[in-house]
Amino acid sequence: MPAPRNRKHLLVRAAPSSEVYRPHDRKIPPPIIPAPPDRRRHAAALRDALTAAQQEGEANREAADIAVHGAEPGLYVEFESPPDVDLKLESLEDRRRGIELVAVRRSPAAPDEPTTQLATVFVPDGALKHFFDRFRQYTEERTKKDQPRHKDMVDRIAALRKATLQALWTDDAEAYPDDDDAIWWEVWLRRHDGNELQRLLEFAGQAGLDVGERRLGFDDRIVILVRGTASQISASLDVLNDLAEVRKAKESAAFFVDVSPEEQAEWLDDFRQRIIPAAKNAPTVCILDTGVTRAHPLLVDHIAAADAMAVDPAWGGHDDGGGPGNMGHGTEMAGLAAFGDLAPHLASRAPVQMRHRLESVKILPPRGANPPELYGAITAQAVTRPEINAPQRPRIFSMAVTATDERDRGQPTSWSAAVDALAAGRTFDPATQGLIYLDEADEGARRLFILSAGNVAPDHLQDDHLGRSDVEAVHDPAHAWNALTVGAFTEKSAIGDPALNGWSPLAPPGDLSPWSTTSVTFQERWPIKPDVVCEGGNVATDGGSFDNAVPDLCLLSTYYQPNQKAFVLSWATSAATAQVARIAAIIRADYPEYWPETVRALVVHSAVWTRAMQAHLRGAGGKRARAKLVRRYGFGVPHLDRALRSANDALTLVAQATIRPFSEGKMREMHVHELPWPKEVLEELGQTPVRLRVTLSYFIEPNPGRRGWKKRHRYASHGLRFDLKTPTESIDEFRKRLNQRALDEDEDRPDTGDTAGWFLGEMARNKGSIHSDLWVGTAADLAERGVVGIYPVSGWWKDQPKRDRSKFGARYALIVAIETEAEGVDIWTPVAQEIGVPVEEAVIEI
């Protein structure tokens, strides 16, 4: 029988040793690119095409009846690769001459058919000579190895042309509008002289375009909403030259339910009398939603009047955001974030000691959201409200508002990138509406966001609910790398209402909820989402129809109009998200020293796959198949007891450290953690099976423009990886292997690490900015593995040294847990004694 979880997790305060990265001389041979049949003819064709593009651009500019003061004249050129060949993107850019790669996309293709890569480059007037010279040198000059100069660049260009607006479209190709359809566009401006917005407004006034009020600023991009037709906006390519890319603006929707059980006012009163509120300075769950009805009897003691805010103070903090179809959603989330599912509490008579409080910021206006809003900017503004109101208060941001479509399929958006930037420490500057650092060395601004994965639409429900969820992609912004994204599973599988004879639950107990979206359709390089799943209710079916409001299959929460009724049914990923936010807030209350990165790590680390999920995972044919299933289930269902406590036979070690990944465009350092380890106890256990789980969590800085995400245009500022010393390695040998692993990762070499015993393996787990894996082996083997290495892998910090923030450090949290089912074994106490923690029980009510 497992020992009770009544021991504190052990924080390892000893700093890791820092190892200088030592580069190697080994080189990876470049890929073989098929040469054009006739290089001279190929170069001549490219020169002619570039000349034609130049002439077309000049003619369009002369014919245009729009002139914008201060606009930089130039030309957008689209380069196309041969089938299944990538362009040499870095060779298409020369910032010294003002030549900038602005957008990269792939041509649409049917499955199993070759694709071409398309890159759009802005070339200022006078700089086209850069390309004409390279095409000439390609045919007239040879390198020392007797190869045509610029061969690797020019061989990879199949064609080029003057770019159209569609060349700057980096969204789903099917979403591109007809020329005369007026839509809201998300316009990404390249930031270069500080006057980009002024020129856009001047152009919009002459072209008859509407411009949204909000904008969002990243380091080298400004995002703003513009309404008009493709024909109207296309003219900007000839006279404005500030555009980097365009996408379709997002419509926002909050999931709302309006079905409730019978009035049970006496239950509410009884429960309220049993609640012991948390201290005024306790951590909070800050709900970004439709507002909160503070007057609800179950909420009034847990959210102060000053803590119910709105992005626009004129909206008021009360729950009427998003218009009639969404009102009440914020109050519903508040009840679940405070208490979890209300039904067990109402049926109980036990007291409830609250460990956290609530805050609310209304992000949906009472009138709804038309025209569409730039929700990255709104989210950034929303975050500043409580931080100004109570700057020292620890908080968790919970948002169950997502876009209505799934067309991004893991690709970063302005909204998801804003979440990533805010999590990494950026702050919204009202003056510039940009995401900035208020203090270059400020480590207190990191934020943890809990986001809902988004839901399968009710009209998409089907009997094969897993098949449906596997093709329904996680919604924007829940694919944000730094966010903790929550999907839904369900244990609710019994229908007691006799009126529903002939109806049965759609999902079996312990499996994915029919509502949950997944990242199964994401490209392999994008993060695993959801990170975890939590109870989101089930759906009833009679074999032909579906009913999503069966009380036995739903959760219970607080209704936004308590004068009408106290409770409301709740379900789907919104309900799951609020419950996980509650877990995260309780962790923050119990471990005030832990960083947001660490809290996220503990939630994921506490997650366990249910028996139903494990059955699917066991049936998977190899680690690649397992990885697909993890994109369905995340890392499992988080458990509060595991997140908060260790046990005598279940030791959890927590390390927090700061690494400096790069310096002047080169790898800088690695970390080696020689952990306090129950080596003697493990050696005595010998061949007894044990489980080791390792979780690494860190926040990246985003680089959101869609420019290929290679080299200088990668999305993530950096990556980190973990590795364990093998039983036969010395510390010095392990350091050398870490050094080689960092090199291999930097050069995109195949996985060659120690994969034996790991459930997922490096190829599957090393996605996004949180990595977790389970190792199973013998205690004797584990006894010699108490050394963990952390090493960096490349990102845009390394590729763009002038923007590198490595000198301020990149924080990370490392969680290492050992569990054994051997009776009467104590692995916690010897480690606690080694690091000086008093050996005493820390029993806590959860």
Residues 119 and 15 in one domain: no
Using alpha carbons, list the distances in angstroms from residue 542 to 246, 505, 538, 552. 45, 9, 14, 15
Residue 19 sits in the same domain as residue 52? no
Q: Are 203 and 237 in contact (CB under 8 A)?
A: no
Under 8 Å between Cβ of 647 and 828: yes
Grouping H, G, I as helix, E, B as strand and the rest as coil, residue 836 is: coil
The residue with tokens 């302005």 is 414
Q: Alpha-carbon dihedral of residues 589, 590, 592, 596, nearest 10 degrees?
A: -80
Residue 623 belongs to some domain of the structure = no
Residues 594 and 712 in one domain: no
Residue 628 lies in a domain: no
Q: Which of 219, 248, 277 is the last residue of a domain?
A: 248
Angle 233-71-78 from CA coordinates, rounded to 5°:
55
Counting Cα atoms < 13 Å in the Cβ hemisphere of 334 gives: 36
Task: Please identify which residue in the block is written with the tokens 């208060």.
Answer: 393
From CA 499, how far away is CA 783, in angstroms rounded?
59
Instruction: Give 542-548 contacts, CB < 8 A, sequence gap 24+.
Output: 542/502, 542/503, 542/504, 543/463, 546/458, 546/461, 546/506, 547/500, 547/503, 548/458, 548/461, 548/515
How far is it, in rounded angstroms, from Cα 566 to Cα 260? 9
Residue 55 resides in a domain: yes
Structural domain ending residue among the three candidates 248, 269, 302: 248
User: 572-590 vs 596-605: helix axis angle to the nearest 10?
Assistant: 120
> 444 in the Ramachandran plot: left (φ > 0), alpha (ψ -120 to 50) or beta?
alpha
* Alpha-helix residue ranges (DSSP H) falling in 107-195: 129-140, 151-154
Clarify whether residues 810 and 672 are in a common domain.
yes
| Assigned domain for 638 exists | no
CA distance 425 to 429: 13
Distance, C-alpha 835 to centroid of its chain: 35
Please state, in angstroms and rounded to a whole number, the distance separating the CA atoms of residues 566 and 267: 10
- The CATH number of whichever domain residue 526 belongs to comes to 3.40.50.200
The pLDDT, as a whole number, for residue 656 is 97
Q: How many domains does the chain have?
A: 3
Spatial strand order in the sheet of 504-505 = 504-505, 540-541, 546-547
Q: Is residue 641 part of a domain?
A: no
What CA–CA distance (Å, rounded) separates 588 from 584?
A: 6
Give the domain range for residue 137: 39-155+163-248
Where b means 16+ CB within 10 Å and e means fewer, 518-530 reads bbbbbeeebbbbb
Same domain, 52 and 15: no
3-state helix, strand, coil in the chain (%, to 5): 30, 25, 45
> 134 near 151, Cβ under 8 Å?
no
Q: Is residue 199 part of a domain?
A: yes
pLDDT at position 544: 87
Q: Is the domain of 586 the same as that of 685?
A: no
Per-residue confidence (pLDDT) for residue 257, from 0 to 100: 28
Nearest to 469 by CA among 400, 558, 539, 378: 539
Paired strand residues for 285? 358, 396
Task: State whether 586 and 561 are in the same domain.
Answer: yes
Q: How far apart are CA 119 and CA 486, in angstroms?
A: 35
Does 404 map to a domain? yes
Which helix (DSSP H) or strand (DSSP E) does residue 75 occupy?
strand 74-80
Report the SS3 class of residue 541: strand
Both 321 and 183 in one domain: the answer is: no
pLDDT at residue number 111: 59
Domain end call among 601, 618, 635: 618
Q: Block means of pLDDT (10 residues each) for the chain, length 846 residues?
A: 87 89 59 83 94 90 75 88 89 89 79 82 91 93 90 93 88 82 86 85 88 82 88 81 83 35 68 94 97 96 97 93 88 97 87 97 79 80 94 96 76 89 85 59 77 94 95 94 97 84 91 96 92 96 90 93 91 97 98 97 97 92 87 97 95 96 89 95 94 97 72 81 92 87 65 70 90 95 94 89 90 97 91 85 47
The residues, any chain, with a CB within 8 Å of residue 661's CB and separated by 6 or more, are 667, 668, 669, 718, 720, 792, 795, 797, 798, 806, 810
Residue type, 62: E
Flag whether 846 is in a domain. Answer: no
Query: Do residue 796 and residue 656 come from a single domain?
Result: yes
Query: Which two three-digit tokens encode residue 302?
Result: 């847990």
Residue 61 corresponds to which amino acid? R
266 and 141 in a common domain = no
Q: What CA–CA distance (Å, rounded) separates 765 from 758?
A: 10
Residue-level pLDDT at 620 = 85
| Shared-domain flag, residues 119 and 267 | no
Q: Do 242 and 290 sit in the same domain of this protein?
A: no
